[in-house]
Amino acid sequence: MDEKDWTILHMLSQEKNITKTADRMYISQPSLTYRLQQIEKEFGITLLYRGRRGVEFTEEGQLLVQYAKEMLIHLANTKERITNMDGLVKGTLRLGVARGVALYKLPKILKHFLEIYPEVNFSVSTGLNLDLISSVFKQETQIGIVRGDHHWSEEKEIIDQEPICIISEKPIDLDQLTELPRITYNTDPALIMVIDNWWNSTFKNPPSVAMNVDNMEIAKRMVQCGLGYAIVPAIVLEEHDQFEQLVIKDADGEPIQWTTWMLYRKSFLEQSTVSAFVKFVKERYSLI
């Protein structure tokens, strides 16, 4: 097995489909099938079988997929170390970023970073916070930018804190909030828990949910059209927005904050791209 075989196994485990994997690899389906047969011959196993939902790996196949993922990570890290041995900031930086940050902050961060370090490329993945933390732990990504408070045993930095707000097109009266249409959205469970805890400590009755949408950006658009109110982190509020806003507060009257963290392994600071990006984000995140 070589790097191309590792990549085939990794992509096939994601796609669960021979044709789609071949397309992503820019090879023909017969060529891909032949490579899979050669892997089976090399290890003397049945690698996978075809089911109703696409291909499924056998137990032996799953072991090889895990091996392939680990080898690809090890190879990527080795390439980065070699690239950075001359001290220049260049190469590929692998980031795992919370969706809210990726939507509202990350494009400008990357733009300004590239103005200083034009030889850096980025590989960006987004997802739920726990998945992003796992990706940094497994070294699939070098830096994670996550939201909320989570356990992480290595290096972590608070890079931002923002209030959570009720937004509406109409004036907000807390005493009437339970009777007004609320727009909820799918988001990270940690944020849902923070908002739910505030609601349950403030009101005796549940909210009157008018609709649930896929994400907070859609919820914001619904609010803009006067279809109800939403409770969102302040990151979604842009300069041109003209909402009525009310910051939610805890029992002591303090604004409830939603924290953004940057996570990474200390050993990765030996890579100039990682070190430069960590320093840049710590100094510039709140200014962008």
pLDDT-derived band at 74 (thresholds 50, 70, 90) equals confident
pLDDT-derived band at 49 (thresholds 50, 70, 90) equals confident
Q: Considering only residues 87 and 249, tell me which one the structure prediction assigns the higher pLDDT.
A: 249
The top-scoring range by mean pLDDT among 47-61, 73-87, 234-248 is 234-248
How is domain 3-78 classified at the CATH fold level? Arc Repressor Mutant, subunit A (1.10.10)
Q: Considering only residues 53 and 155, tell me which one the structure prediction assigns the higher pLDDT.
A: 155
Res 86: pLDDT: 66
Output the CA–CA distances (angstroms, integers) from residue 281 to 25, 50, 274, in the order listed.
34, 46, 11
CATH code of 162-256, in short, is 3.40.190.290
Whether residue 121 is predicted with pLDDT greater than 90 in this model: the reply is yes
Tokens of residue 246, six digits = 């009310």
Res 271: pLDDT: 87
pLDDT in tens, 159-179: 999 999 999 999 999 999 999
Res 130: pLDDT: 93
Distance CA 19, CA 124 (A): 25
pLDDT in tens, 221-256: 999 999 999 999 999 998 888 999 999 999 999 999
What percent of the chain has pLDDT above 90? 70
Whole-number average pLDDT of the chain: 92
Whether residue 85 is predicted with pLDDT greater than 70 in this model: the reply is no
219 with 185: CB under 8 angstroms?
A: yes
Res 53: pLDDT: 77
pLDDT-derived band at 54 (thresholds 50, 70, 90) equals confident
Whether residue 83 is predicted with pLDDT greater than 80 in this model: the reply is no
Domain definitions of the chain by residue range: 3-78, 89-161+259-287, 162-256
- Nearest CA to 173 out of 203, 216, 209 is that of 203
Q: Stretch 20-25: mean pLDDT, rounded?
A: 90
Is the fold of 89-161+259-287 the same as that of 162-256? yes
Tokens of residue 118, six digits = 């034009």
Which amino acid makes up residue 223? Answer: V
Whether residue 158 is predicted with pLDDT greater than 90 in this model: the reply is yes
pTM equals 0.74
pLDDT-derived band at 148 (thresholds 50, 70, 90) equals very high
Whether residue 72 is predicted with pLDDT greater than 90 in this model: the reply is no
CATH code of 89-161+259-287, in short, is 3.40.190.10
Q: What is the 3-state secondary structure (H, E, C) of the chain?
A: CCHHHHHHHHHHHHHCCHHHHHHHHCCCHHHHHHHHHHHHHHHCCCCEEEECCEEEECHHHHHHHHHHHHHHHHHHHHHHHHHHHHCCCCEEEEEEEEHHHHHHCHHHHHHHHHHHCCCEEEEEEEECHHHHHHHHHCCCCCEEEEECCCCCCCEEEEEEEEEEEEEECCCCCHHHHHHCEEEEECCCHHHHHHHHHHHHHHCCCCCEEEEEECCHHHHHHHHHCCCCEEEEEHHHCCCCCCCEEEECECCCCCECEEEEEEEECHHHHHCHHHHHHHHHHHHHHHHC
Res 175: pLDDT: 92
The separation between CA 79 and the C-alpha centre of its own chain, rounded to angstroms, equals 24
